A and B are shown apart, each in its own frame.
Chain A
């Protein structure tokens, strides 16, 4: 297991540099680096593809609108609409950036346990409130999701069939309202249960991570690469 702090720092650095960069060489190398990490982490490729599909659904919307609305000389036109070279270039950039960042995050972050990441964030001096928020969101999204399915099933069991009617919207509004109430009530009970076990605002970590030699090696290697990307983007030697 790699030290989660290294992973968090590298993900952050890589994402920031890649999000701001615009030179094709830098984006290309970033993408290659991300793919390299995915193979290094031996991720389940099928799962990677499913997740990328979700990201690229959003990106697809950009491909629908951006090429037509970006100012610049027309590449070709039809029905009075013009597609610009700059528009296409922007789309390609965004696609590469988002995919590379998501791939790198998957390779680095999803291979840690949540407790590991939370713990790492804490040691990187991220405010406790944010860390707790992150942890509990993660832990309870699943529970709220199950709660949602329970209610949906209960609705179906009583013959609910969604259609385009005020009644359907109303039913969904009730469903969401109930979910909010239940989550709020549950959070109160969980807090009570924690207080009953002696919780006083500090999380004591059970399995502590260790910073080992290979973490140093990973941090130096990946850190240098990110610096190199930044240099290729903004450096004065061209």
Chain B
């Protein structure tokens, strides 16, 4: 290993508010260049894991270390979120602006990038996901596959170092699924994909873990 991990969970425990235990003393590492898949049944905590990494929820015990720094407060995680992109399961949750361009621009503008630069970023990222010319389209009129691609573009626009993808192909047809898989393979270096579709993970990741008994267990491909 040698190089320090990009994301590290140390003895993390977490329970839902109703007392149901999700993780207990869980350990997990992600290194630069790792492409990791996580499988597990519904409700096993796959989404929870991703939300813990960007601090949307905080662990009951243990430590979340991102980019070599232990992260505890909201302020710590604010920096994390600028460098780690999270793709939500439902694009309806992620996209909220009237037009595609406004939505893609939202992140870069939050990073205080100058406007003419943002214009270039919007154009480039939409080309990257194969949606060139979609700038003025109204987001809620797009198809499911297009919405997912726009969501991905909103992350790319912030040039994240790591991507966390929550069921990136859920509800998509073969065509759109292949598109997403290809974009991940070609354009992203380090990511975690959470899914209960084994085939998707086999095509996009090098290591697969399984959620079992509140822990992550490595399974071979």
Q: Are A204 and B110 in contact (CB under 8 A)?
A: yes
Contact of B102 among A115, A140, A190, A199 (CB under 8 A): A115
Interface of B is mostly: helix
Q: Are B88 and A189 in contact (CB under 8 A)?
A: yes
Q: Are A190 and B118 in contact (CB under 8 A)?
A: no
A197 part of interface (Cβ distance < 8 Å): yes
Q: In the assembled complex, which residues on chain B have CB atoms less than 8 Å from the CB atom of A206?
A: 101-102, 105, 109, 115, 118
Number of interface residues of B (CB under 8 A): 32
Interface of A is mostly: helix
Question: How many Å from the CB of A138 to the closest CB on chain B?
Answer: 8
Q: Count chain A CB atoms within 10 A of each CB in B85, B90, B98, B112 and give the residue with the most.
A: B98
Considering the complex, give the chain B residue whose CB is closest to the CB of A188: B93
Question: How many Å from the CB of B139 to the closest CB on chain A?
Answer: 9
B94 part of interface (Cβ distance < 8 Å): yes
B78 part of interface (Cβ distance < 8 Å): yes
Contact of A139 among B90, B98, B155 (CB under 8 A): B98
Q: Are A200 and B109 in contact (CB under 8 A)?
A: no
Number of interface residues of A (CB under 8 A): 25
A198 part of interface (Cβ distance < 8 Å): yes
Quick one: CB contact mask for A5-44 with B, threshold 8 Å, 1 for yes? 0000000000000000000000000000000000000000
Quick one: CB contact mask for B79-123 with A, threshold 8 Å, 1 for yes? 001100110101011101111011001110111100100100000
Please, could you name 12 A-B residue pairs with CB atoms under 8 Å apart, sorted by A? A113-B98, A114-B98, A136-B96, A139-B96, A139-B97, A192-B93, A193-B86, A196-B86, A204-B109, A206-B101, A206-B105, A206-B115
Residues of chain A touching chain B, judged by Cβ–Cβ distance below 8 Å, are 113-115, 136, 139-140, 142-143, 186, 189-190, 192-200, 204-208
